[in-house]
Structure 1
Amino acid sequence: MAAILAFATIGGAEAADRDHLPGILGRDDRTPLDNQDWPWAAIGRVNRTIGGFCTGTLIGPRHVLTAAHCLFNRRTGRLIGAGDIHFLAGYRRGSYLSHSVGRRILVAAGYDYRAPFEAANLGADWAILELAEPMAIRPVPIRKEPLPSGVELVRAGYGQDRAHLLSIHDGCAPRPGSSPPGLLMHTCDATHGDSGSPLLMRGPEGPAIVGLDVAAGRLGGTLAGLAVPATSFHTFASATLSGSGGNEEP
């Protein structure tokens, strides 16, 4: 893979020129969503007391799925204390449906915050934030099966230019062709602050998480979004939620 772009870092609150936002794949197809119905209620902002934010999704009453790089201090290269991370579910214009600080952080084995943005490291760029308090919001399930061909996706997150309202790109898709091992290339627009946002696939029982947006990159000269496929974290997430894997490293 040539030129992986590190756009998907930590979002700030400043507005940005949308024509030059990194991670926008041509025309900006994101739409603001002023709605707190499920599954949007389970998506929220991951705020850090040291500044900046990312996006996370409630996958259990106490567990939030997000990008691993969101939980590190850029200056020190070390994990931020779990109690210094706040998850605001259903965040919307300064209000939210539920709030909790973190209690524990579980980062994927093999992830190296200081490593270059290489495909192998980005494939491990996922983490689960365990919350101090449970949330009475229906979690979003994780799909364990590979994606079917021809599927349409929805990506939902809090970009730096719309920091106080969820934005979605509905109708994006996996990028045609092969993806680097451990990654899912896609056509969904995303930028700073959208790190850790879910890629969703609609199904008969409602949307399910099929990927976790982490960065953008070029392959063959074409810019594409980069996500960790749900098949990479489904097993550990299921064990953590059931209590059988919660005391082990991913």
Structure 2
Amino acid sequence: MYGVIRLKAWVALTVLGLLLASGAVAQDAHLKRLDNGDDAKAWEAVGRLDINGKGFCTGALIAPKLVLTAAHCMYDSETGERIDKGHIEFLAGWRNGRAGAYRDVARVVVHPSYVYQEELSSERVRNDLALLELDQPIRNTSIKPFGTGARPRAGDSVGVVSYALDRAEAPSLQEMCAVLARQDGVLVTSCSVDFGSSGAPIFVIEDGEAQIVSVVSAKAEVRGEQVSLGTALGQPLAELQAELVAGRFIYLGAKPGERRIGAGERLGGGAKFVSP
């Protein structure tokens, strides 16, 4: 549950630029675990989203009270229902049992055109965005929100910072991977992601600053190559922000007396991850 969705085949992605895959993947950087403060310093605004006591996603701070992530993280994969009674906590810079900031979520806005369904399509991935409004802003000088930028072109280099099932206690950085194709508002990249990486920021470096240009939605296997699918920002993010301003949201909060998952508690064997 709440992990990157695996996809064996998607006809729409068997064309347009994927012949670049072999050459691009060969130049990709290896994942680097951000275990210490020096390595993680620039990435403290990336955090783990603990969801409903069953799993986690990755999210990134884009304003003191706003976290950007994937919309499908806000749905229960077993029922298809929106998560409206559980608990979501953003652990900014979560690393080896500690976070730079702990925040509950007051509001969630899912892109108005996003439809949660079993079958993946370019439309589902294209709109796979959610904004989480935190109950209190994060104003820690070491946790600087990321800016956002225009979507990159095929052949451009990008990077990704993500948590995943095998790296749940500290994020990993892949400084260089490639945009293999842009298609129907979806970025196809060679970035290495796994379950738990949903919502992770894909970024470019502009004037020495990391800018988010996409959010990880799914991973796929196309022609024997592992690729990741990202939601392009731009218009979809603007539409999402408009929904937030208009006051449309899903309220999330535990019922009185309900047990909340405490910060730092390990997510147990109840975690389920979608693997179609």
> Normalising by structure 2, what TM-score?
0.73
Matches of 2:41 and 2:55, distance apart in 1? 25
Quote the sequence identity (%).
30
Change (3 A) 1:87 1:246: farther
Change (3 A) 1:170 1:78: same
Aligned to 1:21: none
Matches of 1:149 and 1:223, distance apart in 2? 17
Matched residue type, 1:6: I
Matches of 2:110 and 2:53, distance apart in 1? 19
Q: CA deviation at 1:147?
A: 1.9
Cα deviations across residues 218-246 of structure 1 (Å, max 9, x unaligned)? 44554321000122433235557xx7x25
Select the residue among 140, 145, 151 that pairs with 1:139.
Answer: 145
Matches of 1:236 and 1:112, distance apart in 2? 15
Matches of 2:153 and 2:30, distance apart in 1? 23
Counterparts of 1:209-220 in structure 2 under 5 Å? 209-219=212-222
Change (3 A) 1:35 1:59: farther
Q: CA deviation at 1:183?
A: 0.3
Aligned to 2:158: 153
Q: CA deviation at 1:79?
A: 1.5
Matched residue type, 1:142: T
SS state of the match for residue 166, structure 1? strand
Aligned to 1:22: none
Matches of 2:222 and 2:206, distance apart in 1? 30
1:166 aligns with 2:168: no
On the 8 A contact 2:51/2:86 being kept in 1, the answer is no
The Cα RMSD (Å) is 2.6
1:34 aligns with 2:39: no
**Unaligned residue ranges in structure 2 (runs of 5+):** 8-24, 250-276
On the 8 A contact 1:77/1:113 being kept in 2, the answer is yes
Q: CA deviation at 1:118?
A: 1.5
On the 8 A contact 1:182/1:228 being kept in 2, the answer is yes
On the 8 A contact 1:202/1:208 being kept in 2, the answer is yes
Aligned to 1:118: 121
Q: CA deviation at 1:35?
A: 4.2
Cα deviations across residues 55-86 of structure 1 (Å, max 9, x unaligned)? 00001111100111111122221121376110
Matches of 1:226 and 1:48, distance apart in 2? 22
Change (3 A) 1:151 1:168: same
Matches of 1:73 and 1:132, distance apart in 2? 22
Larger-gyration structure (1/2): 2
Select the residue among 107, 110, 128 that pairs with 1:107.
Answer: 110
Matches of 1:190 and 1:71, distance apart in 2? 19
Matches of 1:153 and 1:28, distance apart in 2? 10
SS state of the match for residue 70, structure 1? helix
SS state of the match for residue 44, structure 2? helix
Matched residue type, 2:185: G
On the 8 A contact 1:82/1:104 being kept in 2, the answer is no
Q: Tell me the matched-pair count.
A: 223
Matched residue type, 1:84: H
Counterparts of 1:16-27 in structure 2 under 5 Å? none
Select the residue among 72, 92, 95 that pairs with 1:69.
Answer: 72
**Unaligned residue ranges in structure 1 (runs of 5+):** 9-24
Change (3 A) 1:228 1:81: same
Counterparts of 1:42-57 in structure 2 under 5 Å? 42-57=45-60
SS state of the match for residue 236, structure 1? helix
Matches of 1:147 and 1:87, distance apart in 2? 28
Matched residue type, 1:165: A
